[in-house]
Structure 1
Amino acid sequence: MTSVPEQTSSSTPSTPFVEAWLAGPANTQFYTRTYPAPSPRAVLLFVHGFAEHVGRYEWAHSTYASRGITVFTYDQRGFGRTALDREKKSGHSSYGRTSAKEQLGDIEWWVRHLKKEYEGLPVFLMGHSMGGGLALAFGTRTSPPPEKDTLDTLSGVIASSPLLLQTFPASKIARRAGGLLSGVFPGLAIPAPVPVEDLSHDPVANKANAADPWIIQKGSLKGLHDMLSGGEQLLWNDYKHWPRSLPLLIVHGDADRVTSFKAAQEFFDKLDAEDKEFKPFKGGYHELVHEPDGVKEKFVDECIVWVLKHVEGQAPQGATEMTASKL
Structure 2
Amino acid sequence: MTDARDHTLDGTRGTIAVREWPHPRPRYVALLAHGYGEHIGRYAPVAEVLTAHGAAVFGPDHTGHGRSAGERVVIEDFEDVVTDVRAVAELSRTAHPDVPAVLVGHSMGGLIAARYAQRYGATLTALVLSGPVIGPWETPARLLAEAGRHGEVPDVPVSPAALSRDPAVGASYAADPLVWHGPMKRPTLKAFVRTLATVADGGSVAPLPLLWLHGDDDRLVPSPGSRTGVRRLAGDGPLTERIYPGARHEVFHETNKAEVFADLIRFLDGVLAT
3-state DSSP of counterpart to 1:213: coil
TM-score w.r.t. structure 1 length? 0.75
Q: What is the SS of the residue equivalent to 2:248?
A: coil
- Does 1:116 pair with 2:85? no
Between 214-223 and 50-59, report the one with greater CA deviation: 214-223
Question: Gaps spanning 5+ residues in structure 1: where?
Answer: 1-14, 84-92, 141-145, 181-187, 314-327
Change (3 A) 1:65 1:245: same
Q: Does 1:159 align with 2:129?
A: yes
Q: Distance in 1 between matches of 2:135 and 2:224?
A: 9
Residue 302 (1) aligns with residue 266 (2) = no
Runs of 4 or more consecutive aligned structure 1 residues displaced over 6 Å after TM superposition: none
Matched residue type, 2:238: D
Contact 2:214–2:249 (CA under 8 A) maintained in structure 1: yes
- Which residue of 2 is the match for residue 248 of structure 1? 210
Secondary structure of 1:20's match?
A: strand
- C-alpha distance after superposition, 1:127-159 (max 9, x if no partner): 10000111112223xxxxx3xxx4311111111
Matched, 1:231 2:185: no
CA shift in 2, pair 1:170/1:48, >3 Å: closer
Q: Does 1:18 align with 2:7?
A: no
Going from structure 1 to structure 2, the CA distance change for 1:305 and 1:38 (only over 3 Å counts) comes to farther
2:163 counterpart (171, 195, 199) = 199
192-201 or 25-34, which deviates more = 25-34
Q: Distance in 2 between matches of 1:102 and 1:269?
A: 25
State the TM-score, normalized to the length of structure 2. Answer: 0.88
- Partner Cα distance (2:24, 2:163) in 1: 32
How many angstroms apart in 2 are the aligned matches of 1:280 and 1:304? Answer: 16
Report how many residues are paired: 271
Q: Which residue of 1 aligns with 2:222?
A: 260
Distance 2:211 2:249 in 1: 16
- Following superposition, the deviation at residue 18 of structure 1 comes to 2.6
Contact in 1 for aligned 2:38/2:66 (Cα 8 Å): yes
Counterpart Cα distance in 2 of 1:252 and 1:64? 19
Single out whichever of 126-135 and 268-277 deviates more from structure 2: 268-277
Q: CA deviation at 1:200?
A: 0.5
Q: Displacement of 1:189 after TM fit?
A: 9.0
- Where does residue 33 of structure 1 map in the other structure? 19
Q: Which has the greater radius of gyration?
A: 1
Secondary structure at the residue paired with 2:37? coil
Q: Which moved more, 1:96-105 or 1:117-126?
A: 96-105
State the SS of the aligned residue for 2:114: helix
Aligned to 1:43: 29
The match for 1:275 among 238, 250, 254 is 238
Partner AA of 1:307 in structure 2: L
Distance in 2 between residues matched to 1:268 and 1:47, nearest whole Å: 17
1:179 and 1:21, CA in 2 relative to 1: closer, same or farther beyond 3 A? farther
Give the deviation of 1:191 after TM superposition.
Answer: 4.1
Conserved 8 A contact 2:26-2:54:
yes
Residue 174 of structure 2 corresponds to residue 210 of structure 1 = yes
Gaps of 5+ in 2: none
Change (3 A) 1:190 1:119: farther
Distance (whole Å) between structure 2 residues aligned to residue 33 and residue 67 of structure 1: 18
User: Residue 161 of structure 1: CA displacement?
Assistant: 0.3
Contact conserved, 1:168 with 1:258, CA < 8 A, in 2? no
User: What percent of counterpart residues are identical?
Assistant: 24
Q: Does 1:175 align with 2:137?
A: no
- Aligned-residue offset at 1:169: 3.4
**Which secondary structure state, in structure 2, belongs to the residue aligned with residue 81 of structure 1?**
coil
Deviations 1:168-197 (A, max 9, x none): 73674x4246589xxxxxxx9984511111
Is the Cα–Cα contact under 8 Å of residues 108 and 132 in structure 2 kept in the other structure? yes
- Aligned equivalents of 2:65 and 2:28: distance in 1? 27
CA RMSD between the two structures: 2.7
Using a 3 Å threshold, how does the CA distance of structure 1 residues 266 and 290 change in structure 2: closer, same or farther?
same
